[in-house]
Structure 1
């Protein structure tokens, strides 16, 4: 019998029924009061999540499009930017900057290491930069970087701070105004549990000032067009948006705020603990520095002699559960379990049971039920 696959990768995440229903409801015309009210509500919900009074703009694109919007709007060719490279998505951010002709300088880390504020301070002291491009949750390695400390080092050196918060916003704390962030990008398909298709940018006054002087070409992602459209009596997008996804995001934000950010953070932390204790109970090692900070995804070293991709393939073939394989230099060495968004404790237990069965099938000595029992202990202790 064919059954829907279960996604336990770090996005896109499962979607609540209320969001499906909202997306399947009749479209709201995007030039008029109905859409204007919806756009205003969604924008205010995102401002609350970012913890900012600054502008938040919404684009019909992936999170990568949101990152490109930051590069296109804030910079000119040959502007120097510093990018700490500690994983796949930091490298993507650097590639976008290079594509726009920026002078990209890097701090190179081994994948799995955490970016250090002291390293950023030292690099900026040696060679000042217009901005530092950061990734909060590096989903390729499972590391959540300390953006608050790193941003302070950048601001002390007079640099703007641009943050990829695509897989972190809503799952781990973020304080746009309190941390002095200039631009932060996120997306609909991660912790908020809406469909893929929308990116958001929170933009400081300093970033708007940089945008006024920047000469990089831009059209679709021109922030000025969005701000002008948002300023109408009935706010709208300058271009036809993914209306149904906006409707779904409105429903997702309403669900999120039924309990609020603090409850969401606590839930993500609890699910993360359960997965990590379950994996440890199997005798496997976690990958990445300070894994207890990683509330969005857990990266796991495959046992010696077993290719991590085979673990993912076996879990998918036998149990219809999608785990994330390693990327780049971690391919075949690491697999990842996502726990951000619309999940509960039974989802985690099911995923751990599938990993147990796959490892046993692949010849790794498994004490059956060990991972599940360890996760249950975490959940029981939290009650």
Structure 2
């Protein structure tokens, strides 16, 4: 049977075996680390669960910072592996308070691991990563950081900070595919991972990836996913042409312009400058407007907005300026759409001043 149908998504050429090691080196450069890079052929949630289940053994105590559903999931994965997990939970949809972390570390000197999310796409908050890692290192805690929503949008220097495991996905600020994820793993982390009792012969087993890494990254175990590997390389090519610092600066500018636009409109941002994410800006919807009504109005105007996710974020509206959306036209569209939506629902806002504030940020 023959067909003349052609699609660029079908019959993908194999990914060259020699480029797996190159891919790992490029990801290591983005993370500013000389630690091993383990690449998982799955979305980042799988890599996060693999980190939790590969590190924790029955009876180990872990301190887990919870600022979104992702932190809750991570704590539950560690519990399923037999760990005693002490959750340090922030106020709903807010960044964690450093004093709460310090107090918990002080109260549990027998803890082995500390885990946290760097930046939250669910609520637009950013946690004080450097300060938390400093507290953890002083007590000898092994650190696990979910950097999926921060890599490429925030500065992240794994080796300088001393992060033992950083988990990333290329689908957000790096504007790449969602079907691959990666972890940087320190020697101390490998020591814990290599102890008896961890998962083996499983996609959740980081131990299973160690021979692949030590052998120089030949063909990965299992069937390779060439479309995802080629797409990741294309995304890294684009990132390297712009430069990592340029990508981060573009996200910082988009966040600054969005916050300036909302403020000039007469709307309060959910976070302050100390606790905001560069990838997502949020504001709380006026109490008289149902979330679904506002979102429907935005769709009618042709620029969809999104609601927050998780406890405390139900009435947050998210302005997503992530990846290739971290640019002037997207920010202007988001701000003007929100203003017009509020105006159409009976709220008096200053759309002109909001747009001027965005322009001023980009003209500076």
Report the TM-score, using the length of structure 1 for normalisation. 0.87
Determine the C-alpha separation between the residues in 1 that align with 2:260 and 2:206.
44
- Are 1:287 and 2:246 matched, yes or no? no
1:231 CA drift (Å): 4.1
Runs of 4+ more than 3 Å apart: 23-26, 230-234, 289-293
Determine the C-alpha separation between the residues in 2 that align with 1:328 and 1:113.
11
Instruction: Kindly indicate whether the alpha-carbon contact (under 8 Å) linking 1:151 and 1:161 is maintained by their aligned counterparts in 2.
Output: yes
1:309 CA drift (Å): 3.5
1:368 CA drift (Å): 3.5
Which of residues 133, 145, 149 in structure 2 aligns to 1:163? 145
Instruction: Kindly indicate whether the alpha-carbon contact (under 8 Å) linking 1:112 and 1:289 is maintained by their aligned counterparts in 2.
Output: no
Partner SS state of residue 138, structure 1: coil
Which of residues 92, 96, 103 in structure 1 aligns to 2:73? 92
Instruction: Report what 1:48 is aligned to.
Output: 29
Which of residues 106, 109, 117 in structure 2 aligns to 1:125? 106
Deviations 1:62-104 (CA, angstroms, capped at 9, x unpaired): 2111111101211112311101222232222222222323211
- Are 1:200 and 2:163 matched, yes or no? no
Determine the C-alpha separation between the residues in 2 that align with 1:207 and 1:247.
29
Alignment of 1:298-317 (within 5 A): 298-317=281-300
Q: Structure 2: 5+ residue runs without aligned partners? A: 1-7
Determine the C-alpha separation between the residues in 2 that align with 1:234 and 1:169.
23
Alignment of 1:66-105 (within 5 A): 66-105=47-86
Instruction: Report what 1:142 is aligned to.
Output: 124
Instruction: Kindly indicate whether the alpha-carbon contact (under 8 Å) linking 1:183 and 1:203 is maintained by their aligned counterparts in 2.
Output: yes
Alignment of 1:55-70 (within 5 A): 55-70=36-51
- Are 1:346 and 2:326 matched, yes or no? no
Determine the C-alpha separation between the residues in 2 that align with 1:98 and 1:364.
47
Instruction: Kindly indicate whether the alpha-carbon contact (under 8 Å) linking 1:192 and 1:256 is maintained by their aligned counterparts in 2.
Output: yes
Bigger shift: residues 111-120 or 68-77: 111-120
Bigger shift: residues 84-93 or 154-163: 84-93
Determine the C-alpha separation between the residues in 2 that align with 1:312 and 1:241.
40
1:233 CA drift (Å): 6.1
Instruction: Using CA pairs under 8 Å that are at least 6 residues apart, name the structure with larger relative contact order, 1 or 2.
Output: 1
Instruction: Report what 1:328 is aligned to.
Output: 310
Instruction: Report what 1:111 is aligned to.
Output: 92
Deviations 1:89-127 (CA, angstroms, capped at 9, x unpaired): 222222222232321101222024332444323212211
Deviations 1:236-268 (CA, angstroms, capped at 9, x unpaired): 211223220111110111110112121111111
Residues 115/214 of structure 1: CA separation in 2 closer, same or farther (3 Å cut): farther
1:170 CA drift (Å): 1.1
Bigger shift: residues 168-177 or 93-102: 93-102
Partner SS state of residue 300, structure 1: strand
Q: How many residues align?
A: 355
Instruction: Report what 2:12 is aligned to.
Output: 27
Instruction: Kindly indicate whether the alpha-carbon contact (under 8 Å) linking 2:261 and 2:335 is maintained by their aligned counterparts in 1.
Output: yes
Q: Structure 1: 5+ residue runs without aligned partners? A: 1-22
1:363 CA drift (Å): 1.5
Determine the C-alpha separation between the residues in 1 that align with 2:255 and 2:49.
30
Instruction: Kindly indicate whether the alpha-carbon contact (under 8 Å) linking 2:266 and 2:350 is maintained by their aligned counterparts in 1.
Output: no
Instruction: Report what 1:12 is aligned to.
Output: none
Determine the C-alpha separation between the residues in 1 that align with 2:102 and 2:310.
28
Alignment of 1:198-347 (within 5 A): 198-213=180-195, 215-218=197-200, 219-232=202-215, 235-290=218-273, 293-319=276-302, 321-343=303-325, 344-347=327-330
Instruction: Kindly indicate whether the alpha-carbon contact (under 8 Å) linking 2:194 and 2:207 is maintained by their aligned counterparts in 1.
Output: no
Instruction: Kindly indicate whether the alpha-carbon contact (under 8 Å) linking 2:43 and 2:169 is maintained by their aligned counterparts in 1.
Output: yes
Residues 145/26 of structure 1: CA separation in 2 closer, same or farther (3 Å cut): same
